[in-house]
Structure 1
Amino acid sequence: MADRKCYRPTCAAKDIAAQTFLSEGTVRNYLSAVFSKLVARNRLEAISITRRNKWL
């Protein structure tokens, strides 16, 4: 399993891609899809929404 420390809001898509063996573009597309579903503008807002709804 990939090191979870890289899923922090400050971790670049490039670093996440390297840890998960995905391309940087794929990581950006996945993040964009998550933001869209959560109606979030960025990672911090997405994390806030998930915590507020007790999904994390």
Structure 2
Amino acid sequence: MDVCLTVPAHTAISDDFGCRKISGGHYAAIEMEAQMQDCYQAWEIVFNEWLPEIG
């Protein structure tokens, strides 16, 4: 599972993590606080229902 976070410019990033700038475009953002098993259910809904519906 990948996780993406927005951080202020010039934030120090540990070697354990990668840092990448994402260029402009259309993106979906999901914010949730849940147990990991609930996150898997959310991903299933996003990828198997929501994304196919919006094209």
TM-score, scaled to structure 2? 0.33
Q: Which structure has more RCO (C-alpha within 8 Å, separation ≥ 6)?
A: 1
TM-score, scaled to structure 1? 0.33
Structure number with higher helix proportion: 1
